[in-house]
């Protein structure tokens, strides 16, 4: 059932979407504690399913798997692991991802067009790339992983957070629907990183005094450089959560020098 068309939750119960997400988080949490052999077995099964999906539904992947001699159903030999199934598969480069475009799409017939969203990188380190997300599957899994990531890093979703990314300026009452369902009322302050100069974003961040910030590594570095050059220094900033690009040792060192 599409999570946008779920029945209302009984009084006092979590909404079905929140329950599903927490269930996924519990499954991922339990997977970490399985014996290594069982983890390998499950990962192999998931990899085979993924490869079959790509082979059957994407012209690009059908040809690429065949050229590399990758057979999703090949039995593993003694001593092999799941990664040996794809050891001859070439690495997918950013250039190929940009050039091939629609040939990489692997849409199943039952995926409704209006439930597919396109995500694009910022392009701050090169030409942007775009990928498709099937929202009924992506949203619960992404939210579950984010929930676990916040727990692993000791973040408190009852505290405020700043978000600087390609999104509309807003002040939201919570970190998202899951946290609202849990009664966690940390305010999310959102600022569009494209529509505002880094200098303005740094001033905004310093005025907020929040413990957490979400942004790209490139913008985090730019904010750090501005602060080190005499700009405002946000007080109380404990963690910067990044996405979309690689965090290099140089970026980590400069951000730590600026913000502690």
Region 177-188 average pLDDT: 96
pLDDT at site 228: 97
26-63 pLDDT per residue, tens: 999 999 999 999 999 999 999 999 999 999 999 999 99
pLDDT band at 215 (very low <50, low <70, confident <90, very high): very high
| pLDDT above 90: residue 112 | yes
Structural element, H or E, at residue 118: strand 116-120
User: Which residues are paired to 212 by β-bridges?
Assistant: 161, 239
Q: Which of 91-100, 136-145, 189-198 has the least mean pLDDT?
A: 91-100
Average pLDDT, the chain: 92
Mean pLDDT computed over 236-254: 95
Is pLDDT above 80 for 246? yes
Supply the pLDDT for residue 216. 94
**DSSP, res 96:** H
Burial class (CB in 10 A: 0-12, 13-18, 19+), 205: buried
Contact 190, 171 (CB under 8 A): yes
Q: What are phi and psi of 136, to 5 degrees?
A: -60, -25
Please say if the pLDDT value at position 1 is more than 50. no
Mean pLDDT (whole number) for 181-207:
97
Task: State the Cα–Cα distance between residues 145 and 58, nearest whole angstrom.
Answer: 27
- Whether 4 shows a pLDDT value over 90: the answer reads no
For the entire predicted model, the pTM comes to: 0.82
Res 133 pLDDT > 50 = yes
Cα–Cα distance for residue pair 163/247, rounded to 1 Å? 17
Average pLDDT value for residue range 100-104: 87
pLDDT, greater one: 243 or 160 = 160
Q: Residue 227 in contact with residue 259, Cβ under 8 Å?
A: yes
Q: What 3 state SS string does 131-146 have? A: EEEEHHHHHHHHHHHH
């Amino acid at each position: 059932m599409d999570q946008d068309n779920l029945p209302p939750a009984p009084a006092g119960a979590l909404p079905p979407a929140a329950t599903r997400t927490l269930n996924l988080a519990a499954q991922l949490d339990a997977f970490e504690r399985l014996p290594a052999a069982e983890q390998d077995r499950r990962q192999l099964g998931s990899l085979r399913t993924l490869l079959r999906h790509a082979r059957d539904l994407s012209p690009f992947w059908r040809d690429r798997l065949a050229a590399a001699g990758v057979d999703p159903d090949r039995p593993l030999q003694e001593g092999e692991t799941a990664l040996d199934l794809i050891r001859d598969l070439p690495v997918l480069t950013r250039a190929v991802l940009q050039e091939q475009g629609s040939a990489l799409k692997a849409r199943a017939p039952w995926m409704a067009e209006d439930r597919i969203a396109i995500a694009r990188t910022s392009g701050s380190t090169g030409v942007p790339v775009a990928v498709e997300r099937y929202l009924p599957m992506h949203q619960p899994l992404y939210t579950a992983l984010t929930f676990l990531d916040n727990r692993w890093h000791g973040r408190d979703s009852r505290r405020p957070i700043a978000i600087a990314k390609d999104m509309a300026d807003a002040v939201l009452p919570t970190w998202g629907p899951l946290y609202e369902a849990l009664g966690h009322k940390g305010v999310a302050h959102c600022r569009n990183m494209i529509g505002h100069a880094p200098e303005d974003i740094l001033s905004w961040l310093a005025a907020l005094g929040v413990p957490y910030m979400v942004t790209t590594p490139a913008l985090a570095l730019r904010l750090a450089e501005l602060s080190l050059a005499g700009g405002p220094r946000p007080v109380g900033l404990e963690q910067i959560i990044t996405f979309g690009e690689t965090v290099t040792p140089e970026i980590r060192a400069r951000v730590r020098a600026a913000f502690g």
